[in-house]
Amino acid sequence: MGRLIVVSNRVPSPRERTQPAGGLTVGLKDAVRGVESLWFGWSGEYSDDVEHQKPNLDKVEGVTYATIDLTTEQHERFYENFSNGLLWPLCHYRIGIIDFHREDLRVYREVNALFADQLVPLLRPDDTIWVHDYHLFPLGEELRKRGVKSKIGFFLHIPFPPWSVTRVLPCAAEFLTDMTSYDLIGVQTDEDAHNMSDCFHMCGLEKDVHAFPIGIDPKEFAEQAISSLETPEVNRLRASLRNRKLIIGVDRLDYSKGIPERFHGYEALLKRYPEHINNVIFLQITPVSRGGVASYQALRRELDELAGRICGDHADFDWTPIRYLTQPVPRHILASFHRLADVALVTPLRDGMNLVAKEFVAAQDAENPGALILSHFAGAAPEMSEALLINPYDSDDIADALNTALTMPLDERRRRWETLDEEVTTRTAAHWAHGFLVKLQESNDTP
């Protein structure tokens, strides 16, 4: 096979290139290993004249990273407004907070055309191209318009809603038409595949969509969880617990993750099961993301207020019920924090997959594993039925599950964890990438 070309809005930062952090970078690192490959995307930098730029090329461990700049207006309209202010909430079923402007759509298309213009000169005929995520729905068609005949696959990392929601997007039919240019379209779950196939059908188009649930590198995460157990940070956390149970939540600061709902569920636990007061600590790690988008600023204010209010109402002079952090924690430390935790609380209102649930499982000690509480609305839920599955809109459901998890006997925790761990170690990031690329090679419907 020729080279693998990966295209995503952002490429891994120089640090992530050797120490990949998220699922996408981990999964693709395995996919690009041993194959000549090129990863193309936005540099994270701005310039005024983007038409005449040349991609910046940087080769690390056999992978060439090719990056281009955007203008500040393109960043605002393409990335903040259209991708994250409209497509993200729409795909997470949040039509009440979307904001559509034709000018933003024009710039979204303009940036997809710019990506194509800048990428085409770097391509060879036997390349295989893999496009990622909602920022780049029309890229395949832009490449075809420029004569690219290679196999082009597309993977969507976030959910895809049914037609009744998708049709709210004024350009939904245009996007779906463009997407027929891909040789293979992959999504996270069977539900997403069904929804997208149905949307094609409703627009008079025929296109198969397949589910490829993404995973993690469980071995690497487990090793980090064990090897960081005696670091100063982990020792400090352990000492500060003073034998209290630890509940952990880890999410980008994003309204799709159900963090206020989680806080309400935890407060319901303190009210309805007061025996846990002073015997439990909830550590919520929530690095700020997309701080330029208004709905994210509003969520941050809401969480600041809610965490402060719950602490004020329930804390004692020697106990604080919630430790709420908006700073990121280094990945190896995070892995050990998961291992120390008795319970993980993963409560998205909608999530493509949710890698945190899988990371928590991978980090556990087989002799004394913690319990996972997981939303029905995470893409991971169908594979992880041995978690305590909850409806995040029901704070009493969260409270009951927390009580069950905090009091679960060791043999039940082990039994549930073993089944979960089997899933996480079978469906890895490498397995995901391999499955997609094999299917893409098999596809024979290049237009």
Between 115 and 155, name the residue whose CB sits nearer to ligand GDG: 155
Between 85 and 352, name the residue whose CB sits nearer to ligand GDG: 352
Q: Which of 182, 201, 180 is nearest to 439 (CA)?
A: 182
Q: Which of 309, 314, 381 is nearest to 348 (CA)?
A: 381
Catalytic residue among 351, 397, 400, 421: 351
What are the φ and ψ backbone dihedral angles of 129, each rounded to 5 degrees? -110, 130
CB of 437 to ligand GDG, least distance (A): 16
Q: Is 157 in the site for ligand GDG (CB under 6 A)?
A: yes
What are the φ and ψ backbone dihedral angles of 72, each rounded to 5 degrees? -65, -35
Choose one: 16-24, 118-126, 143-151, 191-199; the region binding ligand GDG (CB under 6 A).
Answer: 16-24
d(Cα 232, Cα 311) in Å, to the nearest integer?
Answer: 26
- Residue type at 104? D
Between 158 and 384, name the residue whose CB sits nearer to ligand GDG: 158
CB of 263 to ligand GDG, least distance (A): 17
Q: Environment class of residue 16 by beta-carbon count within 10 Å: exposed (0-12), middle (13-18) or buried (19+)?
A: middle
Q: Is 252 in the site for ligand GDG (CB under 6 A)?
A: yes
d(Cα 140, Cα 186) in Å, to the nearest integer?
Answer: 14
Say whether 52 is catalytic: no
Among positions 249, 352, 369, 392, the unique one binding ligand GDG when judged by CB under 6 A: 352
d(Cα 57, Cα 38) in Å, to the nearest integer?
Answer: 9
CB of 158 to ligand GDG, least distance (A): 5
Between 212 and 268, name the residue whose CB sits nearer to ligand GDG: 212
Catalytic residue among 75, 135, 157, 338: 157
d(Cα 106, Cα 114) in Å, to the nearest integer?
Answer: 12
Q: Is 331 in the site for ligand GDG (CB under 6 A)?
A: yes
Between 129 and 187, name the residue whose CB sits nearer to ligand GDG: 187
d(Cα 154, Cα 184) in Å, to the nearest integer?
Answer: 6
Query: Contacts with ligand GDG in 378-397 (CB under 6 A)?
Result: 379
Among positions 19, 21, 177, 278, the unique one binding ligand GDG when judged by CB under 6 A: 21
Among positions 67, 84, 128, 354, the unique one binding ligand GDG when judged by CB under 6 A: 354
Q: How many chain residues touch ligand GDG (CB under 6 A)?
A: 24
CB of 251 to ligand GDG, least distance (A): 6
Among positions 351, 383, 397, 423, the unique one binding ligand GDG when judged by CB under 6 A: 351
Among positions 129, 169, 179, 250, the unique one binding ligand GDG when judged by CB under 6 A: 250
Between 252 and 272, name the residue whose CB sits nearer to ligand GDG: 252
The DSSP call for residue 276 is G
Q: Is 14 in the site for ligand GDG (CB under 6 A)?
A: no
HSE-up of residue 311 (Cα within 13 Å, Cβ side): 16
**Three-class DSSP category at 303:** helix
* Residues written for the chain: 447
8 Å CB contact between 380 and 357: yes
Among positions 329, 396, 425, 443, the unique one binding ligand GDG when judged by CB under 6 A: 329
Q: Which of 154, 147, 202, 132 is nearest to 440 (CA)?
A: 154
8 Å CB contact between 261 and 398: yes
For the record, the structure tokens of 333 come out as 């430390």
Q: Is 25 in the site for ligand GDG (CB under 6 A)?
A: no
Angle between helices 429-442 and 23-32 (to 10 degrees): 60
Q: Which residues touch 409 (CB under 8 Å, ≥6 apart)? A: none
Among positions 32, 38, 334, 401, the unique one binding ligand GDG when judged by CB under 6 A: 334
Say whether 210 is catalytic: no
Query: Contacts with ligand GDG in 272-311 (CB under 6 A)?
Result: 285, 287
Would you please indicate which residues are annotated as catalytic (active-site) residues? 157, 351
Which residues are near ligand GDG by CB under 6 A? 21-24, 157-158, 214, 250, 252, 285, 287, 328-331, 334, 351-356, 359, 379
